[in-house]
Amino acid sequence: MFQYTKNGNFLTENQRKFYEDNGFLVIPKLVDNHLLENCRSKFAEVCNKGPSSMDMMVMKELSLKHQNFKGEYLVNKIQNLMNDEVFFACGSYKPLVDVVESIIGPSITCCQSMLINKPPGAEPKSSQHAMHQDYYYFPFGPVNSIVTVWAAIDSSNVENGCLFVLPGTHKNNLLPHKNGKGTKNVGYYEIVNYNKVNLCHLIMEQGDTVFLHPLLAHGSGANLTKNFRKAISCFYIDSNSYLIDFKGTQQEDLEKVMFKAYNKQHSHLKNYLDSWRLSSRLIRGSPGVYQQCLSQL
Ligand SMILES: O=C(O)CCC(=O)C(=O)O
């Protein structure tokens, strides 16, 4: 009866059914505010003093780069967070990982993590994140062994660029995407054609957490307020996932673009797959096929 979730005790029958039918599930107040405030402070520290671990990457909002903005008024994302213990405390927070386990099973690796900041004043086209499926970026499978988790550090709403989703679209295959060049931000790909009729905005308070299937079409709006909009987003996979070669697929272009961007900060990287070695950390259970494959690259 259930295809996208596992048997276990951490989700109610209704929550499980909601995720199965819609491809996402919001759990109010799941992450402790204290952990999120620690992440907020750590983010400010990284913006001002630089990365707090070797593998961490800091990205700037291009539309603000030439306007003399600094610190968290300029940085729109830091990624590869899990080797910083402040962020790890959030990414490995038991109530959150329990829900992840209910979706992908008990062998859990966080394969990517980011703190996404939408600073005030950015160009709307640049601050929004166009409609996409996260699976477009992931060179591993099977697809149902992956889940995206997004926890609100600030309340998010239509004005400050909350997430929006197209419920049920996780039942599609991977859809054609094109490079969202208009956004200026490297690595933003968007779905070429989609129907907005059922678009649903996720209005969330601090600590509210949404779990998204990797094929669910989603994005986020521009921040049109004078305040920041921050969230922490982690991607989890079953540690027995296998790697996929993007050669000959529609993601060949993405692979080149992302590798070029990552290579600027980490010149020792051999290829795009190699970048997942930097960003992955085991969270629960034993290392599996995924770790073996990465170590053989
Ligand atoms: O704006 C955000 O916080 C989320 C953007 C998003 O959809 C993503 O990073 O996949």
Write out pLDDT tens, residues 70-80. 999 999 999 99
For a substitution probing ligand 1, which of 131, 233, 235, 254 has the most ligand atoms within 8 Å of its CB?
233
**DSSP three-state, residue 209:** strand
Higher confidence at residue 61 or residue 241? Answer: 241
Residue nearest to atom 3 of ligand 1 (CA): 116
* 283 has a pLDDT exceeding 80: yes
Residue nearest to atom 2 of ligand 1 (CA): 220
Residue 171: predicted pLDDT: 97
Exposed / middle / buried, residue 1 (Cβ in 10 Å: 0-12, 13-18, 19+):
exposed
Residue nearest to atom 4 of ligand 1 (CA): 220
| Res. 183 pLDDT band, cuts 50 70 90 | low
* 186 has a pLDDT exceeding 80: no
pLDDT over 70 percentage in the chain? 98
Residue 66: predicted pLDDT: 79
Residue 294: predicted pLDDT: 94
Q: Which atom of ligand 1 is nearest to the CA of 231?
A: 3
Q: Which atom of ligand 1 is nearest to the CA of 161?
A: 1
As a whole number, mean pLDDT of residues 206-223 equals 98
Residue 188: predicted pLDDT: 87
Bridge partners of 178, per DSSP, are 190
Which residue matches tokens 């998204």? 212
| Ligand 1 proximal residues by C-beta, below 6 Å | 116, 129, 134, 163, 218-220, 231, 233
| Res. 59 pLDDT band, cuts 50 70 90 | very high
* 90 has a pLDDT exceeding 80: yes
Residue nearest to atom 10 of ligand 1 (CA): 134
191/262 Cα distance (integer angstroms) = 23
Number of residues assigned to the chain: 297
Residue 182: predicted pLDDT: 59
For a substitution probing ligand 1, which of 220, 235, 279 has the most ligand atoms within 8 Å of its CB?
220
* pTM greater than 0.95: yes
Residue 77: predicted pLDDT: 96
Sign of CA dihedral 262, 263, 265, 268: positive
Which residue ranges make up each domain of the chain?
13-295
Residue 32 CB: number of other CB atoms within 10 A?
A: 15
Higher confidence at residue 183 or residue 292? Answer: 292
Question: CB-based contacts of 35: which residues, under 8 Å, 6+ apart?
Answer: 89, 90, 93
Residue 1: predicted pLDDT: 86
Q: Which atom of ligand 1 is nearest to the CA of 148?
A: 10
At the topology level of CATH, where does 13-295 sit? Jelly Rolls (2.60.120)
Instruction: State the angle between helix axes of 252-265 and 272-279 in degrees (0 to 180), rounded to the nearest 10.
Output: 50
Exposed / middle / buried, residue 239 (Cβ in 10 Å: 0-12, 13-18, 19+):
buried
Q: Tell how far the Cα of 220 is from the centroid of ligand 1, in angstroms.
A: 6
Average pLDDT, the chain: 95
87/43 Cα distance (integer angstroms) = 9
Q: Tell how far the Cα of 174 is from the centroid of ligand 1, in angstroms.
A: 18
Please, are residues 74 and 60 in contact by the beta-carbon 8 Å criterion?
A: yes
* 158 has a pLDDT exceeding 80: yes
As a whole number, mean pLDDT of residues 115-132 equals 93
* 187 has a pLDDT exceeding 90: no
Which H or E run includes 247? Answer: none
Residue 184: predicted pLDDT: 60
Q: Tell how far the Cα of 293 is from the centroid of ligand 1, in angstroms.
A: 27
pLDDT (tens digit per residue) in 8-38: 999 999 999 999 999 999 999 999 999 999 9
For a substitution probing ligand 1, which of 158, 218, 232 has the most ligand atoms within 8 Å of its CB?
218
Q: Amino acid identity of 234?
A: C
Q: Amino acid identity of 11?
A: L
